[in-house]
Structure 1
Amino acid sequence: MAASMENVEEIRNRIILGEFDIKNVHTTDYPGNYPGYDDTWDLEKFKKSFRIDIVQLDENSMEFDMVGIDASIANAFRRILLAEVPTMAIEKVFIYNNTSIVQDEVLAHRLGLIPIKADPRLFEYRNTVTGEAPAAEEEEGSEIDTIQLQLKIKCSRNPRASKDSADPRELYLNHMVYSRDIKWVPIGNQADVFAELAIGPVHDDILIAQLRPGQELDIVMYCVKGVGKDHAKFSPVATASYRLLPEIVLLEPVEGEKAERLKRCFSRGVIDLEDVKGTKAAKVVNSRLDTCSREVLRHDDLKNVVKLGRVRDHFIFTVESTGILPPDVLVTEAIKLLMAKCQRFINELGNPHS
């Protein structure tokens, strides 16, 4: 017997969290998955239901809702943010002098992972540069595809230090090497083109090495444009993740001591108590804060009065930038990349002989 239209609609739109299982787990909107229901994909319906709501935005992180899309599209945005939005990162490290206790290979690896504040949209990929160039220029790059940085520092004793002091911060000068000690060395006309941009490490307090008197570092670094799928150092985000919007429905009134226990079963702010004729009654305030722990299902007298679920096409995205580009710019760039992929696919379909 075919399910009613309301039941099929619920199956399509909700994932139900049971005590020992998860029901209605569907990851696709592909037509034909729901018998007795007309699920033909419709462009006008998609336009009407799709939306993006920005919940929180600052210079380092962003939280937004993407509603009305398939899980595959949501995951495509996540993967593009992690692996395909380009950045500038240290690729080549020339160590002319390193008398610290840190090995050259370890030091080069640490330097490569330092986020570099430089807009990658203003630079070209190294492999896209055309024309013949001298060997030295090809090695060091040019002003349109390379950023040169230098780290030159030497530790010495502090002549003004107290004789009784045992604190290295007072005894030595330049004994802590931080990312702020890395200096930008303009190539070609970069000093004029990027005069208003403070090219260099995003954070100035990243510890690189510790030195003692007589030890020094003399290093030249070259940054190039790359993507996270080639190396994690090019990834523009510290994290990019999504989760489905939780949904909590009270099937019947919950009052008194049961209401207080119900409140404790969820994260703070999900359930609140309101006064109804002198009795405390439970009310769902903000299901978005729920972590879907299913703690309430351990209580025999509560598990049948609550329905736990998640909205299948409502994705809560969290994007945390490394500081190279603002998170809203990263999301915009990810959308542009996905559009370009779709256009390439359409072009391939229209050109069967390619």
Structure 2
Amino acid sequence: MSPHRTPSAAELEQRRIIGINAETVTHGASTDFPGHYYGEDHSFSIEEFKRNLSIEVHHNTPHDLSFSLVGVDASIANALRRILISEIETLAIETVFVEDNTSVIHDEVLSHRLGLIPFKGGKEGLRDFLKEYKKPGPGEDPFATSFDWNTVSLSLNVECTYNQDAEEGETDLDMLHNNRSVYARDIVFAPNGRQAEYFSGENAIAPVNPDILIAKLRPGQRIAVEMHMHKGVGSDHAKFSPVATASYRLMPVINILRPILGDDAKKFQKCFPEGVIGLEKVTRKEAAQVGSGYENHEGEDKAVVKDAMKDTVSRECLRHAEFEGKVKLGRKRDHFIFGIESTGQWDSDELFLESIRVLKKKCLAMERQVVFMAR
């Protein structure tokens, strides 16, 4: 067996790269575990983990968050993604009591549409006051387990009528009819018990988007329903998912191995999304360096990597013969670019922090199981 030598910084960096070739993907498996590399200690160290871990926020609004999570395994990143989608509690309409529905929409379809409307409210009440709802057993009073701390009451009562003040000859149906369209803004929140302490004024429970269209009515048609909202998680039903989407992708790597100049540089730029590849002029100093590939090309355009994060790794540049051997594509296996789009009940950055809290809770539960089994 050959003697072991300490890997160089370049070799360690190369281990982080997944190779993207014209028709294949290489080095996709993780290698940072004990025993994979002879003579190297890859046992888990919390201090090493802290040194390698970093988070960089690229864009942050209440409904949209983009950030880089660096230094974790794919299993951790995917656990956070799955928690974001299916394991963070939110409030949604669960039960609809139909008093009158003479619209063209069936009761069950109307109930489904109402359930998918995202709502917002006071963060303290949503997080701390409202608790999980337990359904009553068979034969029990359906309201036996409904309290102010687990059930929110809403109502919707809209009837379409003729507009007696419409001008003669008017053809616009919106002017001829009153309440022709039923919107989310027509839903009324009725606080019960202590709910008024947490959900009043600007903190009142209301649709995130008041302009969501629920139904269209004609004169004589009416929708009158009462609704109960409860807390739930996305694994029970998609309406409880706090995100429109939560996804990640690996950080692209674009290495230009040999100079790409002139018209080839412009063609190379068009192989990538806008902003990924830039064009710069070859300087006199570069043109004077023997063996650089820029000799006698002073002033010509050269292709440079401007922002690899914007790349979608389409591999278009690998389909052209003039770029063969001049570029190497890859992805960093431990650099995850996350995108979180909140439906509005939670701010997007709060959702990420909540997903970490849920993951921590799972780890503590697993630790207790392991300790118990070891006894």
TM-score using structure 2 length: 0.88
**1:33 deviation in Å?**
3.6
Residue 79 of structure 1 aligns with which residue?
Answer: 82
1:172 corresponds in structure 2 to: 177
Letter of the 1:98 counterpart: N
Q: Is the 8 A contact 2:130 2:149 kept in 1?
A: yes
- 2:295 corresponds to which residue? none
Partner of 1:254: 260
1:22-37 equivalent positions in 2, closer than 5 A:
22-27=25-30, 29-35=32-38, 37=40
The answer for the alignment partner of 1:295 in structure 2 is 316
Task: Specify the alignment match of 1:154 in structure 2.
Answer: 159
Matched, 1:53 2:75: no
Q: Does 1:339 align with 2:360?
A: yes
Match for residue 326 of structure 1? 347
In structure 1, what is the Cα distance between the partners aligned to 2:104 and 2:82?
38
CA distance in 1, matches of 2:242, 2:220: 37
Distance 1:273 1:353 in 2: 62
**Which amino acid in structure 2 is aligned with residue 223 of structure 1?**
M
Report the AA paired with residue 243 of structure 1.
R
Whether the 8 Å contact between 2:258 and 2:325 is mirrored in structure 1 is no
User: Could you list the per-position Cα deviations for residues 103-136 of structure 1 after superposition, in whole angstroms to 9, with x for gaps in the alignment?
Assistant: 001000000100111343131001399xxxx936
Give the drift of 1:191.
2.0
Structure 2 counterpart of 1:269, one-letter code: G
2-side partners of 1:337 and 1:126: how far apart? 19
Q: Which amino acid aligns with 2:132?
A: Y
3-state SS of 1:222 partner: strand
Stretch moving more, 66-75 or 300-309: 300-309
Specify every segment of 5 or more residues in structure 1 that has no aligned partner in the other structure, as ranges. Answer: none
Residue aligning to 1:191: 196
CA distance in structure 1 between the aligned counterparts of 2:191 and 2:227, rounded to whole angstroms: 12
Alignment correspondent of 1:114:
117
How many angstroms does 1:304 deviate by? 1.0
Greater mean alpha carbon deviation, residues 343-352 or residues 116-125: 116-125
> Residues 98-113 of structure 1: matches in 2 within 5 Å?
98-113=101-116
Is the contact made by 2:180 and 2:217 (CA closer than 8 Å) also made in structure 1?
A: yes
> How far is the alpha carbon of 1:39 from its aligned partner?
2.7
Q: For residues 303 and 172 of structure 1, what CA distance do their matches in structure 2 show? A: 67
1:35, distance to aligned residue in structure 2 (A): 4.9
Deviation, structure 1 residue 37: 4.3
Higher alpha-carbon deviation: 115-124 or 15-24: 115-124
- Is the CA contact (8 Å cut-off) linking 2:66 and 2:337 kept in structure 1? yes
2:331 to 285, 302, 310: 310
> Is the counterpart of residue 94 in structure 1 residue 97 in structure 2?
yes
What residue is the counterpart of 2:231 in the other structure? 225
Does structure 2 retain, via aligned residues, the 8 Å contact 1:29–1:70?
A: no
The whole-number CA distance in structure 1 between the counterparts of 2:58 and 2:252 is 16
Q: Superposition pairs for residues 243-282 of structure 1, below 5 Å?
A: 243-276=249-282, 277-282=298-303
CA distance in 2, matches of 1:63, 1:24: 27
TM-score (norm 1): 0.93
Secondary structure of the corresponding residue to residue 278 of structure 1: coil
CA distance 1:259–1:33, shift in 2 (3 Å): same
Does structure 1 conserve the Cα–Cα contact (< 8 Å) formed by 2:57 and 2:67?
Answer: yes
The Cα of 1:23 is off from its aligned counterpart by 1.0
Aligned-residue sequence identity (percent) comes to 44
- Give the partner amino acid of 2:53: F
Give yes or no for the alignment of 1:203 onto 2:203. Answer: no
Q: Which amino acid aligns with 2:188?
A: K
1:241 aligns with 2:247: yes
Q: Which digits, 9 at most, give the CA deviation of each residue in 1:262-291, with x for residues without a partner?
A: 111111111111111311111111111100
Q: Is the 8 A contact 1:8 1:37 kept in 2?
A: no
1:126 is aligned, of 125, 133, 143, to: 133
**Residue 68 (str. 1) matches residue 71 (str. 2):** yes
Return the offset for 1:181: 0.2
- The count of corresponding residues between Structure 1 and Structure 2 is 349
CA distance in 1, matches of 2:258, 2:374: 63
Deviations 1:72-124 (A, max 9, x none): 00000000000001100000000000011110010000001001113431310
